[in-house]
Amino acid sequence: MTPEELGRYLEERRLLIDEALDRYLPGAGDSPKEIHEAVRYSVFAGGKRLRPILILAAAEAAGGQVEQALGAAAAIEMIHTYSLIHDDLPAMDDDEFRRGRLTCHKVYGEAMAILAGDALLTQAFILLSAEIPPYPPLPKGGRGDLEGVRSPDSYAHGRASDAWGVDPEARLKVIQEISQAAGSKGMVGGQVVDMLHEDREVDLPTLQYLHEHKTGALIRVCLRVGGILASAGSEQMEALTIYGERIGLAFQIVDDILDLEGSLEALGKRAGSDLRKKKATFPALLGIEESRRWANRLASEAKQAVVIFGDRGAALAAIAEFVVTRRG
Amino acid sequence: MTPEELGRYLEERRLLIDEALDRYLPGAGDSPKEIHEAVRYSVFAGGKRLRPILILAAAEAAGGQVEQALGAAAAIEMIHTYSLIHDDLPAMDDDEFRRGRLTCHKVYGEAMAILAGDALLTQAFILLSAEIPPYPPLPKGGRGDLEGVRSPDSYAHGRASDAWGVDPEARLKVIQEISQAAGSKGMVGGQVVDMLHEDREVDLPTLQYLHEHKTGALIRVCLRVGGILASAGSEQMEALTIYGERIGLAFQIVDDILDLEGSLEALGKRAGSDLRKKKATFPALLGIEESRRWANRLASEAKQAVVIFGDRGAALAAIAEFVVTRRG
């Protein structure tokens, strides 16, 4: 896959995921509209949708269909967005900007931002446990052609069935893995350790632990969920897991480098903000050169792991390359 | 059931639920221990465990076993506790005391309290989707005899199966109903409306809407979840739903009355705190007399609804009576 092909692929997927998020979130006018406005403000703030794209790519690599994985993909992005809203709060990282826009609490107030995060985390599980209609092929011209398709809400009181094209036990397994990755021994635990070490020296093992939990656990689970939804075998699951662990850490190392080098325009938040807060980063501990070398090595290992998927793994391989070469 | 029998029944169930919570929450020493300490501080703050007791009572009324319902019962109490932790935050109700103890953020700080709430909400879904070992009969003498029993964690990476004694589709349905009750169109939505009306006059329909969402939705779903886990038929589900709606509202009306009449000793929070904050309450709108009459009428309707369960519904009937006669 050439960089141009990957660019088109990522853009196509991003649109598909935005469409799914639009369908699977309560409407901006749904009551109480204040919370749904705040939720949508943060969800549609222009993210790259890397995590949900990884779910789709993993499902396809393992021989599954994108349609089976779109619900879980939207759910993961909801959980990711909730974590950003709560991390940005005054009591946490106290960030005013995110992706170049004011953070949720700056626009809607602290109480509404806390509740918007709570709502998004809960909505992810509403979606994951819902009887979802098979996702229709997307029309070219936007949402118009989708009118009349039953929304997930209209299924909410029906019996959960096999509409995902996945048996109910596998869907429970997806909920189990996602909730563990997001919980106090995963993402939330990573944020706890991050909070506890603010303004304190940390060593490399602690920094690695922190990121493997705070961001790594959720990225890793994307690959596994894609695999589970596609009924991947154990060898495939192992390959996807290794890939997920490697690019999860590589992603964070590159994030640290970009934060150090970046500018407000490129990153959408104030450059060097980690440094200003004396947060531990990989370049601070290892230097930029060594950090880049490590990230590249992790990306190579990730690409090596997905060789077993042959052509179907091309997107995953290209994404691994993208993670370490991106400029923002 | 006499008041004494109900007293023993509630105490027995409370111990059973505390034991389940102890088993299904990460240990206080589990890493990162700061968050698990904060979580346990709030969960074991001496609640009445009304919501989980309702799940067990509903399951038994519909012919099910307590053991099948203990996991869901513990999960509901986790969600209830998360909502209290977040509601107490400075940006929300700004409460210093809860059940006579300092609130989570007063002890562990705001960041940890936000994360403890997030962790509890997520842990509920870890538990609901987990392969749970059949809950062993409880030893009389506390936890000692339970050592060696596999903890839920040791099942976490296994395949979700029928260990709850409930088929996987029914378990997805339980997750669906609980997440909807807790989400932005349920409990979170109620808290949003509460926030938006602070220091403002509200009329009775708004107050009723607020409580049907903020506290009613979660109480209602307890009854339905008990029914689903016991494979209740549609007539039974209807009766449990009516019961849940009636006592949910009755509970809140009595809470308002007790807050007005109560004292720090009786309620564990500063008496009249709703009034000081100019929060709308039922007695403020209707007077104490009329509020009591309404609560009693709701309790009667709840008792009437569960007559169809015969003797197996005796506990539910006694609980409805208790909800409107309790003094704290």
Q: Which residue of B has its CA nearest to A213?
A: B32
Report whether B195 contacts B92 (CB < 8 A): yes
What pLDDT, on the 0 to 100 scale, is given for residue B273?
Answer: 61
Reported confidence tier of residue B224, pLDDT bands at 50, 70, 90: very high
What is the tens place of the pLDDT at every residue in A85-130?
999 999 999 999 998 899 999 999 999 999 999 999 999 999 999 9
Would the CB atoms of A122 and B182 count as touching at under 8 Å? yes
- Say what percent of chain A tops pLDDT 90: 76
What pLDDT, on the 0 to 100 scale, is given for residue A266?
Answer: 54
The residue that leads in pLDDT, B180 or A268, is B180
Please name the member of A32, A159, A185 whose beta carbon is closest to the beta carbon of B192. A32
Please name the member of A114, A123, A185 whose beta carbon is closest to the beta carbon of B184. A123
Instruction: Name the pTM for this structure.
Output: 0.90
ipTM of this complex? 0.90
Mean pLDDT calculated for residue range B192-207: 90
Would the CB atoms of B172 and A173 count as touching at under 8 Å? no
Would the CB atoms of A114 and B89 count as touching at under 8 Å? yes
Reported confidence tier of residue B272, pLDDT bands at 50, 70, 90: low
Reported confidence tier of residue A278, pLDDT bands at 50, 70, 90: low
Q: Which residue of A has its CA nearest to B191?
A: A115
On chain B, the residues whose CB falls within 8 A of the CB of A173 are 129, 159-160
What pLDDT, on the 0 to 100 scale, is given for residue A147?
Answer: 37
Would the CB atoms of B92 and A109 count as touching at under 8 Å? no
What pLDDT, on the 0 to 100 scale, is given for residue A142?
Answer: 39
The answer, yes or no, to whether residue B152 has pLDDT greater than 90, is no
What pLDDT, on the 0 to 100 scale, is given for residue B280?
Answer: 79
Reported confidence tier of residue B270, pLDDT bands at 50, 70, 90: low
Of A103, A104, A98, nearest in space to A116 by CA:
A104
Dihedral sign computed on CA atoms, order A290, A294, A299, A303:
positive
User: Where is B121: in which H helix or E strand?
Assistant: helix B110-129
The answer, yes or no, to whether residue B178 has pLDDT greater than 60, is yes
Would the CB atoms of A32 and B122 count as touching at under 8 Å? no
Q: Which residue of B has its CA nearest to A117?
A: B118
* Residue of B31, B118, B157 best to disrupt the A interface, most CBs of A under 10 A: B118
What pLDDT, on the 0 to 100 scale, is given for residue B275?
Answer: 53
How many angstroms from the chain centroid is the CA of residue B308? 24
On chain A, the residues whose CB falls within 8 A of the CB of B119 are 183-184, 188-189
What is the tens place of the pLDDT at every residue in A36-88?
999 999 999 988 999 999 999 999 999 999 988 999 999 999 999 999 999 99
The answer, yes or no, to whether residue A263 has pLDDT greater than 90, is no
Q: Which range among A92-96, A319-323, B265-269, B304-308 shows the weakest confidence by mean pLDDT?
A: B265-269
On chain A, the residues whose CB falls within 8 A of the CB of B180 are 126, 156
What pLDDT, on the 0 to 100 scale, is given for residue A143?
Answer: 37
The answer, yes or no, to whether residue B197 has pLDDT greater than 50, is yes
List CB contacts of A8: < 8 A, sequence separation 6 or more. Answer: none
Q: Look over chain A and give the mean of its residue pLDDT values, rounded to a whole number.
A: 88
* Residue of A80, A84, A94, A188 best to disrupt the B interface, most CBs of B under 10 A: A188
Mean pLDDT calculated for residue range B305-325: 97
The residue that leads in pLDDT, B201 or B44, is B44
Task: Report how far residue B80's alpha carbon sits from residue B222's, in angstroms, rounded to the nearest whole number.
Answer: 11
Please name the member of B89, B160, B185 whose beta carbon is closest to the beta carbon of A172. B160
The residue that leads in pLDDT, B198 or A203, is A203
Report how many Cβ contacts below 8 Å link chain A to chain B.
169
User: Where is B97: in which H helix or E strand?
Assistant: strand B97-98
Query: How many angstroms separate the CA of residue A151 from the nearest CA in chain B?
Result: 15
The answer, yes or no, to whether residue A25 has pLDDT greater than 90, is yes
SS3 category, A176: helix
Task: Report how far residue A46's alpha carbon sits from residue B170's, in angstroms, rounded to the nearest whole number.
Answer: 37
Task: Report how far residue A150's alpha carbon sits from residue B110's, in angstroms, rounded to the nearest whole number.
Answer: 41
Would the CB atoms of A189 and B31 count as touching at under 8 Å? yes
Q: Which residue of B has its CA nearest to A37?
A: B184
- Say what percent of chain B tops pLDDT 90: 76
Mean pLDDT calculated for residue range B152-163: 40
Distances (CA, A) of B74 to A250, B54, B62, B68: 38, 11, 19, 12
Would the CB atoms of A196 and B34 count as touching at under 8 Å? yes
Q: Which residue of B has its CA nearest to A112?
A: B192
Please name the member of B118, B167, B184 whose beta carbon is closest to the beta carbon of A36. B184
The answer, yes or no, to whether residue A215 has pLDDT greater than 90, is yes
What pLDDT, on the 0 to 100 scale, is given for residue A264?
Answer: 45
On chain B, the residues whose CB falls within 8 A of the CB of A34 are 192, 196
What pLDDT, on the 0 to 100 scale, is given for residue A229?
Answer: 96
The answer, yes or no, to whether residue A148 has pLDDT greater than 70, is no
Task: Report how far residue A320's alpha carbon sits from residue B174's, in angstroms, rounded to the nearest whole number.
Answer: 38
Would the CB atoms of A129 and B86 count as touching at under 8 Å? no
Would the CB atoms of B35 and A128 count as touching at under 8 Å? no
What is the tens place of the pLDDT at every residue in B43-87?
999 889 999 999 999 999 999 999 889 999 999 999 999 999 999
On chain A, the residues whose CB falls within 8 A of the CB of B195 are 111-112, 115
Task: Report how far residue B170's alpha carbon sits from residue B130's, in angstroms, rounded to the nearest whole number.
Answer: 14
The answer, yes or no, to whether residue A201 has pLDDT greater than 50, is yes
Please name the member of A26, A171, A176 whose beta carbon is closest to the beta carbon of B184. A26
Would the CB atoms of A32 and B196 count as touching at under 8 Å? yes
Q: Tokens representing B148?
A: 């060696």
What is the tens place of the pLDDT at every residue in B255-267?
999 988 874 455 5
Q: Which range among A1-10, A23-32, A269-278 shows the weakest confidence by mean pLDDT?
A: A269-278
What pLDDT, on the 0 to 100 scale, is given for residue B141?
Answer: 41
Neighbours of A140 (CB within 10 A): 5
Q: Tokens representing B213?
A: 């969402």
Task: Give the residues across from A97 on adjacent strands.
Answer: A102
Would the CB atoms of B118 and A188 count as touching at under 8 Å? yes
Task: Report how far residue A303's alpha carbon sits from residue A324's, in angstroms, rounded to the nearest whole number.
Answer: 12
On chain B, the residues whose CB falls within 8 A of the CB of A196 are 32, 34
Would the CB atoms of B126 and A39 count as touching at under 8 Å? no
Report whether A230 contacts A59 (CB < 8 A): yes
The answer, yes or no, to whether residue B147 has pLDDT greater than 50, is no
Report whether B115 contacts B146 (CB < 8 A): no
What is the tens place of the pLDDT at every residue in B24-38?
999 999 999 999 999
What pLDDT, on the 0 to 100 scale, is given for residue A199?
Answer: 79
Reported confidence tier of residue A161, pLDDT bands at 50, 70, 90: very low
Axis crossing angle, helix B217-229 with helix B66-87, rounded to the nearest 10: 160
Would the CB atoms of A188 and B119 count as touching at under 8 Å? yes
On chain A, the residues whose CB falls within 8 A of the CB of B188 are 35, 115, 118-119, 122
Reported confidence tier of residue B120, pLDDT bands at 50, 70, 90: very high
